[in-house]
Chains A and B, each alone.
Chain A
Amino acid sequence: MSSRFRASFILLGAAALLAAGCSREERHSRSKPVGETVAAGASPDTIFPGGGTPPALDARARLYDNNAPAIAAGQELFSQMNCVGCHAHGGGSMGPALMDNEWRYGGRIDQIASTIAEGRPNGMPSWRGKLTDTQIWELAAYVRSLSGLPSKDAVSSRAEGMSGASPGTLTPHGKVQPSDTAQQQ
């Protein structure tokens, strides 16, 4: 835990240094079609016989991974679709923890999207046909954020219902302040 925090402080520092020179992340409209199906080739971490290499990262990954609006949208879906009932706010419940460093079926965003779409044999439901592909990728982006995988500047600091690791029982809901306003002050 502490190493993750240390890493995040370094990241924050680096982000602050780079902020002036960096262009903002690319944003896209939620309704923009991003493909017919989820996760071709998104297999769990495994052995590729004959010296093979893992399949290339799904091309859509760059649209969602590290993307603040996608992560925020995924956070909202995480509560609305009852993911929170099984995985709590990342710590796990009926379902496994998502904030630790164990990924049974792979921690790449395309692998997570595949898990959400297809389900997994020990109780993970299949959401294919219940959620749009966009929603599934947004959820995958948020799930990665629970374990601190995306860079911190992409993770939402806004209150979207219940926040990630700190539950509403601990943190009173503050006034929502858009990040743009904060920058102007």
Chain B
Amino acid sequence: MRSVTTAVLAGLAALTAGALMSSCNKRAADNSTAANAPSGAAARAVPAAAAYPADNGNWEMPSKDYASTRFSALNQITPANVGKLGIDFTFSTATTHGFEAPPLVVDGTMYLITPWPNILYALDLTKPGAPAKWVFKPNPAAASQGVACCGPVNRGAVFSNGRIIFNTLDGSTIAVDAKSGEQVWRTQLADIQKGETITMAPLVAAGKVLVGNSGGEMGVRGWVAALDEGSGKLAWKAYNVGPDKDVLIGPRFKPFYAMDRGKDLGVTSWPPNAWKTGGATVWGWISYDPQLHLIYYGTSNPGPWNPDQRPGDNKWTAGVFARDVSTGEAVWFYQSTPHDLFDYDDINESILADIPWGNGRRPVLLRPDRNGYFYVIDRRSGQVLSAAPYGYVNTSTGVDLKSGRLQYVAEKEPKPGRVVRNICPASPGMKDWNPSAFSPITGLVYIPHNNLCQDEGVMQANYISGTPYVGADVKMYAGPGGNRGLFTAWDPMRRRAVWEIKEDLPVWSPALATAGGLVFYGTLDGWFKAVDARTGKLLWRFKTGSGIIGQPISYRGPDGRQYIAVVSGVGGWAGAVVAGKLDVKDPTGALGFVNATKDLPNKTTAGGMLYVFTLPR
């Protein structure tokens, strides 16, 4: 009987998908006011100079630089010769969890941080085959795996002042001497008993190690903390929900929009006490503007997913904070998704760029948001200069630039007792955590992302600390066109795609752009691809042993040659069906992602393996 029901429902789904495609091809209106850019080199966006130092050939932080360009200035590998790119060496990470971290390379040594159990390897690039120099095992609690919503992943370590600094899944931040592999300090920050973990890569800026918690699906209270880089001692901690004093909101706080102004909005925009379990975690990316002395990061979804339990705007969830790096004081906030309805978490990367504006340039953040809009935001004030959809959106009609408010489509609002169908983008958003790359040569942002829609039913969630706080059943499927993933080259000035590549599977891998004119990314079934940065033409591909969700990098080896490196190892939310051995018979598995990746177990297997490529000698 069940199979008959499934067949009928599949038919219905196909019908609705067809209707959707025919009636809704038009993208949501672009109501941007950004100046129409003239053509030519002066019309391009460029990285913020102070956050974009000259490339030293290393790869010392996941985002490459404070501007978060993920751009390598190395140019030996080009569209003309990339076809000859071949394997130099490989290394097994001895893990089968999703591998999201990039390798780091510092002066002839490569550092690899694995998913739980968060092993740190140092490989000697000066010797043939890159043998291990040392291995550091922090032994995080095994139980932390049980409160990690989307795989026990780690998004990377960072190198600073002779140390490798990283977070463990069970909530500590550790500094290790890069030469010896000895621990220098270790600070416990998160508490797994409350459902907190740490999966993000720390950022070191102005002598502070910036760390945030994960657990937006567990009803935790989100925060970002700054540790003293030398000692590991807590310098400041800012919560993202709760009273102003906890959020470090004071006289310097000047949000651009009226909707983000008022006293204790982190309390009053919630039902009584709901902020205490309100999410707003910091599990994604932090950028830093050394000139303005500000850090920028996005906050996660509110808890629980069921929006019916939390009437109000739910500050300061699903938005962007600018804070003083030294004190943590909030300087501005912009809520991209007030009263989030669909887990449109806003932790995505903020690329620091300076764009042509009038006769000069304007300092901005470039943000491909989960909610489907590519935002250009003045990074001094938080004013949204433009917000254009970079894929198919039907949950909102646009962003009102006067009020800053996302314009929801009422009929898509999930309410208990009914199921809402064809919610686009789905909960992982137009784009999830996997960061874009920004090339100053083309002025384009290369966005790896999803084309997914979903059906959703919500119900009352009970808060029990250390357990999920969600209250939603979700079933995802391919968006219009049938391809589940997209790789888009986006022109932030013209607010349109220059080219896009349709990928069958959701694209969960980050992107890398190089001065050689190439862009690299991977697919969930394990292909590592190089495409032409100007045209998107596929120039080279290599099938790795497992699906790729890791961050590709490029570095100059001790021999002066350019290398490309990536770790393959399927997992994370999109690859949970493989890494977690989930059962594809339940479409709601992995918060509904299983339904969209039912074929993945037949296409790839788990296993973290480093691949390093170079041109033939």
Contact = CB atoms under 8 A, between A and B. Distances in A.
Given A85-B217, A89-B588, A169 B455 contact: yes
B583 A97 contact: yes
B413 to A, nearest CB: 15
Contacts of B462: 80-82
A172 to B, nearest CB: 7
Interface stretch (A28-36, A43-51, A59-67, A118-126): A118-126
A86 B473 contact: no
Nearest to B576: A93
B9 A170 contact: yes
Contacts of A54: none
B419 interface: yes
Interface in B565-588: 576, 580-588
B464 A94 contact: no
Interface stretch (B122-130, B143-151, B604-612): B143-151
A169 B474 contact: yes
A99 B585 contact: yes
Given A91-B589, A125-B146, A172 B419 contact: yes
A168 B458 CA distance: 9
Contacts of A169: 419, 455-457, 473-475, 587-588, 592
Interface in B1-53: 2-3, 5-6, 9
Nearest to A4: B585
B318 to A, nearest CB: 20
A94 B468 contact: yes
A165 B2 contact: yes
B461 interface: yes
B591 A93 contact: yes
A125 B466 contact: yes
Nearest to B470: A85
Contacts of B470: 85
A170 B581 contact: no
A85 B468 contact: yes
A41 interface: no
A124 B475 CA distance: 25
A116 B586 CA distance: 22
Interface residues of A, number: 38
A166 B475 CA distance: 11
Contacts of B145: 94, 122-123
A116 to B, nearest CB: 13
A171 interface: yes
A97 B581 contact: yes
Interface in A145-185: 161-162, 165-172
A125 B467 contact: yes
A162 B587 CA distance: 13
Contacts of B148: 94, 123
A95 B584 CA distance: 14
B248 interface: no
B375 interface: no
A82 B469 contact: yes
A97 B457 contact: no
A26 interface: no
Contact of B147 (A123, A162, A168): A123
B594 interface: yes
B457 A168 contact: yes
Contacts of B142: 121-123
B584 A91 contact: yes
B459 interface: yes
Contact of A161 (B5, B143, B459): B459
Interface in A121-140: 121-125
Contacts of B461: 82, 85
Interface in A94-129: 94-97, 99-100, 102, 119, 121-125
B469 to A, nearest CB: 7
Contacts of B474: 169
A167 B591 contact: no
Given A123-B147, A169-B457, A93 B590 contact: yes
Interface string B469-507: 110011100000000000000000000000000000000
A122 B146 contact: yes
Given A80-B462, A97-B586, A124-B146, A162 B581 contact: no
Contacts of B589: 88-89, 91-93, 97
Q: By CB atoms of chain A within 10 A, which of B2, B148, B588 has the most?
A: B588
B580 A92 contact: yes
Contacts of A165: 2, 585-586
Given A85-B470, A86-B468, A165-B2, A123 B586 contact: no
A80 B464 CA distance: 10
A60 B142 CA distance: 31
Given A168-B419, A169-B475, A90 B586 contact: yes
A10 to B, nearest CB: 15
B581 A123 contact: no
A85 B469 contact: yes
Contact of B582 (A79, A92, A119): A92
Contacts of B591: 88, 93
Contacts of A93: 149, 468, 576, 580, 582, 589-591
Interface string B231-253: 00000000000000000000000
A31 B146 CA distance: 32
Interface in B428-476: 455-457, 459, 461-462, 464, 466-470, 473-475
Contacts of B419: 168-169, 172
Nearest to B304: A85
A123 B144 contact: yes
Contact of B594 (A81, A91, A122): A91
A166 B585 CA distance: 9
A79 B475 CA distance: 17
Contacts of B580: 92-94, 96-97
A131 B469 CA distance: 18
A82 B462 CA distance: 7
B147 A1 contact: no
Given A162-B459, A166-B2, A86 B146 contact: yes
A84 B459 CA distance: 12
A93 B147 CA distance: 11
A6 to B, nearest CB: 11
28 contacts: A5-B2, A80-B462, A82-B462, A82-B464, A82-B468, A86-B467, A89-B589, A91-B582, A91-B594, A92-B581, A92-B582, A93-B589, A93-B590, A94-B148, A96-B580, A97-B582, A123-B145, A123-B146, A123-B148, A162-B457, A162-B459, A165-B2, A169-B457, A170-B5, A170-B6, A170-B9, A170-B587, A172-B419
Interface of A: 1, 5, 79-82, 84-86, 88-97, 99-100, 102, 119, 121-125, 161-162, 165-172
Given A81-B464, A91-B584, A123-B143, 5 more contacts: A82-B469, A93-B591, A94-B149, A122-B142, A170-B5
> A-B pairs with the 5 shortest C-beta distances?
A123-B146, A85-B468, A91-B586, A91-B589, A97-B583
